[in-house]
Structure 1
């Protein structure tokens, strides 16, 4: 019998995009999944749209106060029952073979974590940058210099590594969580196939590099416990790699 996959989704005011996300999950060729959605007190039609779908695999929780994406992901993780953990934000998109490919690779390669290529798209899901390519195994050391792992394109095995939660005190909670996970395993395995679309929204915090340099510095200083000099070194590397990551347009 196929192992259960828990899909972890935080959502907040996602009515404009969430139906495409829903359809991408319902279209998966791998059908043994549960979708654990935590709504972070949306003020639009997000919850109303989600309630239109009666699939018993969709499990929704509505928080009584807004706590941010990391907190919402943690609430979903607490309820997750699957062996495999996959992340899908409420405005992103998976190709139908995403779960099938990720699970089969983990099982055949006996890996704790896998990640794949993904398209970097505008709000209409049209590519605006070259695909991010999962070209090398990701390790704790190379993840310090640039965050190669995105929620939309990464899966891990709780049977082999346990559950990893997001720090609430960091605005760079994704990077901290991945670093903590990579401390425990040799590497994350790359799948060089584009299986997802990441929607680069105009108001995306992650794209405003100048505004989060301090937050990134604290990833190293506060959460990794590095010295000031070492923290500055990795922050500079992260900033340089981030500029390159988002500046290579098609034309």
Structure 2
């Protein structure tokens, strides 16, 4: 069990990013072993986390525990049905603000997440076919990564690979991440957040990726349980708001998510 209690979420902001990427590569064999063991990741609420979420500490603690204290057995029934409905998807289409992305998850499995590995939890995820991702995606939520804030991430894909990437803040850092290894420029994960108690962005990926009606995509390593094959020293989740009018996720011709609401 890993319990994180950040006192300063910017502690690594001045650290040498090149050295941190080297560390990611060195640690990969250890992560490959540990992820095959029973594990769970969670946080302990701190003042630093409350500040990042723009909340007072007491309000943040209430939000924190409400997002965790779900009937996870009931959630698992719902999420398993949801995942089974979209598993082996031939075509996944994501549309929204500055976004028109298409990918395949043919032969891949959607996994329901109901409190086994993360707390809070609430998502279904899969691994796209490596060379199937085409188009562009814009992430309006910023990403706090290794103490650095990357804003307005915009990615363009051709044959599954990021061929262009921009950001309004820390673009050089984003480019270094993409250059970690060959797999870092490919999508290792596509997911839909389902936790209705997580309603506001809080600068913490573990929570933000669970936000109901959002999607998130991870550059880098794919999970073998999805039947994914992409290998990388990184797995970087980035969350996209889908509440803007006209936003949608369509899977094999069926609307799954529209304007921030799951409609199946």
TM-score range, shorter chain: under 0.3
Higher RCO (C-alpha under 8 Å, 6+ residues apart) = 1
Q: Which has the higher helix share?
A: 1
Could you tell me the TM-score, scaled by structure 1's length? 0.27
Higher strand share: 2
